[in-house]
A = this chain, B = another copy of it.
């Protein structure tokens, strides 16, 4: 039988695992620094828990697990005869593979609400499975890294999560742009322009502005049946360019008090905030109270971000950001890698009703996700791993001239391990050339050779594989060198 893996799934070689570990550990360390706690949920959930959460498309992409035993026994004979796959599924499968971490998390929060404290800050780094058509960069099994806080509406978390993005990508040495918007503002625009009935469609089109341009957006808005007058008003909103307040000197739009903090961030952010306030100028309590609320929320989030003087990555208010998932109800985020051709490598936002399916009372939450697989690919592309010592490889392997020498090498090997120094021993006293070849291929930095002379004197001939230098050392000297 020819060995192979399923399409869309991957084996990882040691070097890849080590890089992935470095990535996950960096992300996890940030989660812990910010006080988030780890949870884990099962890979398989009840099908009824997962089904119905991801839209029709998502449901089709769920991997369903066949019931065990004589699973056809209870299946409807007529549906079987008609080969009605859709109808049969629920009678032959009660399990499905985790499709994301969000739904299991909301299930978890409701189920364990008496064992956890709210606000509940959790992170979760686990694989998910999707029956998507495999292609470059898209897998059927991949990791998600989610961090959420549930049980508080405080906007301080919006700022905290943006800061966490900044922190992680700084640690990874990856320059990014963090885009920020608020779904309430988008709803405000829809309200102002009189097209709330087509809100979701409107946001989906808006989200494509970078790809299809302002003309493309106009065309698609008309196509879905938004009238000309509304389209004009939409365009007026989304093309706001506050050119007359480039220095953060935004007295006109009521931002005077924040001038000082804005200064720290320079023109760009001043402009971003002005843009929000220009928009605010269009809205009134009557034509879009929700939009005004969204702007106020964003104002406070930016204030917290200004207070966090240590953000190094770019972040901006981005009116066209919509996020595909319509369960977001407030601030939304998206992260793009600069200097690399790649879609979003992170995203998230605030949601208010996610726990309702499981009977969770009105629990507001907010979370972000790190697109670990894509981040990994970008880091490979930019050769960022080359700058990091990811190796867990032991640095030395012992080679021996004969059986007695090997016993002596084995003793030294034991001694090093007791002292906490990782090391290996070549398993047989074969020809030195063959042992050396293995040491070379494995990439050891040193070899420790034990011949008769070394054995008799309880020493090791230490060879530096890069410089070629050799010297005779004791076990303790060896430990000093390797530590």
- Using a CB–CB cutoff of 8 Å, the interface residues on chain A facing chain B are 1-6, 9-14, 17-18, 20-21, 32-35, 37-46, 48-49, 60-61, 63-66, 68-73, 75, 77, 80-81, 83-85, 88-89, 92-95, 97, 107-108, 110-112, 115-117, 119, 121-122, 127, 129, 131, 140-141, 149, 152, 154, 156-157, 159, 163, 167, 304, 307-310, 357-359, 392-394, 397, 406-407, 410-411, 414, 417-418, 420-425, 427-428, 438, 441-442
- The verdict on A422 contacting B11 (CB below 8 Å), with A5-B46, A45-B5, A359-B1 known, is no
Nearest-neighbor residue (CB-CB) of A163 within chain B: B414
Q: How far is the CB of A58 from chain B (nearest CB, A)?
A: 12
Q: How far is the CB of A443 from chain B (nearest CB, A)?
A: 9
Give the contacting residue for A38; candidates B18, B152, B407; CB below 8 A. Answer: B18
- The verdict on A14 contacting B38 (CB below 8 Å), with A65-B66, A152-B427 known, is yes
Q: How far is the CB of A256 from chain B (nearest CB, A)?
A: 18
What B residues does A65 contact at CB under 8 A? Answer: 63-66, 97
Can you sample 16 A-B contacts with CB below 8 Å?
A5-B42, A11-B39, A12-B39, A14-B37, A14-B38, A14-B39, A17-B38, A18-B37, A32-B392, A33-B394, A65-B66, A66-B66, A72-B85, A81-B81, A308-B414, A310-B418
Copies of the chain in the assembly: 2
Instruction: Evaluate contact between A89 and B108: CB separation under 8 angstroms.
Output: no
Q: How far is the CB of A386 from chain B (nearest CB, A)?
A: 19
Instruction: Evaluate contact between A410 and B307: CB separation under 8 angstroms.
Output: yes
Instruction: Evaluate contact between B63 and A3: CB separation under 8 angstroms.
Output: no
Instruction: Evaluate contact between A116 and B13: CB separation under 8 angstroms.
Output: yes
Instruction: Evaluate contact between B357 and A1: CB separation under 8 angstroms.
Output: yes
Instruction: Evaluate contact between B414 and A307: CB separation under 8 angstroms.
Output: yes
What B residues does A152 contact at CB under 8 A? Answer: 427-428
- The verdict on A9 contacting B42 (CB below 8 Å), with A85-B73, A131-B68 known, is yes
How distant is the Cα of A63 from the Cα of B64 in the complex, in angstroms? Answer: 10
Nearest-neighbor residue (CB-CB) of A425 within chain B: B156
Q: How far is the CB of A408 from chain B (nearest CB, A)?
A: 9
Give the contacting residue for A89; candidates B45, B66, B94, B417; CB below 8 A. Answer: B66
Instruction: Evaluate contact between B420 and A33: CB separation under 8 angstroms.
Output: yes
Instruction: Evaluate contact between B44 and A9: CB separation under 8 angstroms.
Output: yes
Give the contacting residue for A406; candidates B69, B156, B163; CB below 8 A. Answer: B156
